[in-house]
Chains A and B, each alone.
Chain A
Amino acid sequence: MEIEETARGATTPALVRAVGLSKSYVQRAPFSQKRFVIDALVDVELEVAPASLTALVGESGSGKSTLARCLAMLEKPDGGETWFEGEEISRATDRDLALLRPKIQMVHQDSAGALNPWFTAAQIIAEPLDIQRRESGPMLRSRACELMEEVGLSANWAGRRPLEFSGGQRQRLAIARAIALKPAFLILDESLSGLDLSTQAQVLNLLLDLQKAHSLTYLLISHDLSLIGQVADSVAVMHRGRIVEHGTRQDIFTNPRHAHTRELLNSVRLVESSFRTAQAGGQQ
C-alpha cells in the first residue's frame, strides 16, 4: 500500500482508504430467468489524504457514483474494505453508523431533486441537525440561518422553497446542508456540473474557502477535466469499475500512463484546440 505523497506533506496517513471494493448489480427481467449482471465496481483501491482535494474522473457509467455511494455508506459493497480515520467501516453496525454518518457527507448532483421541494430553505438545511438531534426549536432555525450566510445566501431567504432559487444558489443550499453536521469528509458528486461557468467558479471558490475554514477533505467526482486541472491535488481515473490510474495532478496531466487516461486528456485537448482554432480562424 503506497502512502500518498501530497503537495502538503510527505507521509500523512490517508483519511479514507478503499481496499478491493467491489459491487455488482443484478437485474432480472420480470417473469424471465435471464439475469443481467452489471459490475459497477471491480477491485477498487483508492486513498484520500486529509485536507486534500482528490478528484475522481471517468466517463459516464464508469462507476464513479457507485463508489461515491459506497464511501458515503449509502450502499454496502459486495466485497472489500473501507477504512475511515483508521477504522474499518464497510461492515459497521447501525450503532456505529449513527456515529459515523455526521463525519461523511455528500453533495449530490441534481440539486433540484436532492432538495425536498416542499421544504423551506431553513428546513432543508436544518434537517440533518434535526435528525441527529443536535439542536431543536428556534435554535434550529438560527443555526440554519448562520449556515446560509456562510455559504453566501441571505438569511432573509430562509423561508423560500428550493425552486425559487437559481441552480447555483441551490447548490449552495445543498452545501450548507452538507456541512451542517461539521463533517470531516465531503463527497461532491458532480456538484458543479450543469452550472454555467461563472456560477461554477463562484461555487468552486466557496468550496475552497470552506475547505480552508473547516479543514475539510474533498472527493470531487467529475467528468470535467479542465475543472479538475485547476483545483485537484490528486486525481484518480476510473474506467469500467476499476481505478486505472491514480497520481498527483502534475503526474496525471503531464505524464498519463494508462491508455484511458490519455484518451480522456486527448478529448479535452481536442475540444480546447478546436475551440482555439475556431477562435483564431473562424472569427469575424
Chain B
Amino acid sequence: MRNAQRILAALAVLGALHLVILLAGFVAPYDPAAQNRDFPFAPPTRIHFVDAYGRAHLRPFIYSLSVRSDTVNEYEEARDKSYPVRFFIQGPAYKLAGLLPLHVHLFGVEGPAQIFLAGTDGYGRDQFSRILYGGQISLAAGLLATGISLLLGLVVGCVSGFYGRWIDESAMRLVELFLVLPWLYFLLAVRSFLPLHISPTQTFLLLVAVIGTIGWARPARLVRGIVLSAKGRKYVIASRGFGASDYYILRRHVLPHTYGVLLTQAALLVPQYVVAEVTLSFLGLGLSEPAPSWGNLLANLQQYNVLISYWWMFAPALALVIVSLGYLQLANAVHELQSGSI
C-alpha cells in the first residue's frame, strides 16, 4: 500500500537523521567549541578521489588549507601533501549522547589538516560538527515541547469533553483564543518578561516550556471531539452500569481512540516547534553563544558580508528543511491512513 510505504520511508529518513544527531559526538569530527583562528570562514573542504597525477584512489582524501597570502579569508589547497580520510579515527574526547565517554569518531583526517565538511564560521569552528550538536538542541526542544503540548491537549480535551457544561465552555473559549493568537508575538512577550541572563540549561527548559504552551489548542479540540462522541456510545453507558469510574471509562473506552489523532498532531507539531526554537534562537532570545543551535548558527547570516560571501553558512537551513519535510510527510501519511480506516 502506498501509504504504508510513505510512512516507512518518512520514518526511515527521520530515524536516520535523529540517530545521526543523537550520536553527534561520534559523527562529528571535531568539538563544536573548538576554534581555529587561522581559518575563519573557510569553505567546505573538497573531497578528492583523483590526485594531482591523475591517479584515482578508492579512499577519498583532502588537501590541507593554507591562507592565500595578502588576502583575508581566501584559501587555497596545499597540494603537496594529501591526507586520506580515515574512518573510526581517534579524535577529541566526547561523551556519546551525554553519557559514554569515547574518543573514536566516524571519520576524520590526521592533523594538521582538517576536514570541514560544511566550512567554518568566523571563529574557525567546524560548521558540520556544530550543525550536528546544534541539532541535538533544536530537535530535543521540538520533541519535548511537543510532548508538553500533547499532554496539555489530552488532559484539557478529556476533562472538557467528559465533564462538559461550564468547564467545556470555558475551555473551548481558551482554545479559540490560543488558536488565533499570533504565537511569535506571544512568545516574544513572554520571553521578554523572563530574565535574559540565565544558564543555557535553564534557557533551554524555559524555551521548551513556553513553546509547548503555544500549540496545545488544536489537539485539545480534536481530543474533545473524540471524547464527546465516545461518551455517548451505548457501551460506555453499559460500562457505567457495571460501576465503572470515569477514569476507567476514559482509559479503556475513550483513550484508545485518541492515539491516531495524537500521532498526527505530534508529527505536525514537532517541525513547527523546531522552527519555533530556531526562530527564537535566531532572533537572539533563545539559546545563545557558545551553545550551538540551528537558530544561532543561521543568525550569522544576518551579517551582510556573511550572507553575500559565505554560502555554506546556509547549511543548517538544509537540515531544518529535511526535518520539516520528513515530519510533514509522516503526518500526511498517518492522517490518510487514519481517515481511510475510520
- Chain A residues near B (Cβ < 8 Å): 72-74, 97-98, 101-102, 105-106, 108, 110, 113-116, 118, 127-128, 131-132, 177, 181
Contacts and interface: CB of A to CB of B under 8 A. Distances in A.
A114 B236 CA distance: 8
Contacts of A113: 233-235
B165 to A, nearest CB: 13
B243 interface: yes
A97 B256 CA distance: 28
Interface string B151-189: 000000000000000000000000000000000000000
B242 A131 contact: yes
Nearest to A105: B241
A114 B248 contact: no
Nearest to A123: B252
Contact of A118 (B239, B243, B256): B256
Contacts of A105: 241-242
Given A113-B233, A116-B253, A118-B256, A131 B239 contact: yes
B9 interface: no
Most chain-A Cβ atoms within 10 A of its Cβ — which of B234, B240, B245, B253? B234
Contacts of A106: 238, 241
9 contacts: A97-B243, A101-B241, A108-B237, A113-B233, A114-B235, A114-B238, A116-B233, A127-B244, A132-B243
Nearest to B240: A74
Most chain-A Cβ atoms within 10 A of its Cβ — which of B234, B240, B243? B243
Given A127-B244, A131-B239, 14 more contacts: A72-B241, A74-B237, A98-B243, A101-B241, A102-B242, A108-B237, A108-B238, A110-B234, A113-B233, A113-B235, A128-B243, A131-B243, A131-B244, A131-B245
A116 B235 CA distance: 6
Contacts of A114: 234-235, 237-238
A115 B252 CA distance: 13
Given A113-B234, A116-B235, A118-B256, A127 B241 contact: no
A131 B248 contact: yes
Contacts of B245: 131
B50 to A, nearest CB: 62
Interface residues of B, number: 16
A115 B243 CA distance: 16
Interface in B205-243: 233-235, 237-243
Most chain-B Cβ atoms within 10 A of its Cβ — which of A73, A113, A131, A181? A131
A40 to B, nearest CB: 16
Most chain-A Cβ atoms within 10 A of its Cβ — which of B238, B243, B252, B256? B238
* Those 8 A-B pairs whose CB atoms lie nearest each other, nearest first: A128-B242, A113-B234, A101-B243, A114-B234, A116-B235, A131-B244, A131-B242, A114-B238
A128 B240 CA distance: 10
A132 B248 CA distance: 11
Nearest to B243: A101
A86 to B, nearest CB: 21
Contacts of A128: 242-243
A113 B233 CA distance: 7
B238 to A, nearest CB: 5
B242 A127 contact: yes
A116 B238 CA distance: 10
A112 B225 CA distance: 22
Contacts of A74: 237, 240-241
A102 B241 CA distance: 8
Nearest to A110: B234
Nearest to A72: B241
Contacts of A131: 239, 242-245, 248
A74 B248 CA distance: 16
Given A116-B253, A118-B256, A131-B248, A102 B243 contact: yes
Nearest to A116: B235
A131 B253 CA distance: 13
A101 to B, nearest CB: 4
B191 to A, nearest CB: 41
A110 B234 CA distance: 8
A98 B242 CA distance: 9
Contacts of A101: 241-243
B253 to A, nearest CB: 6
A72 B243 CA distance: 11
A102 B244 CA distance: 11
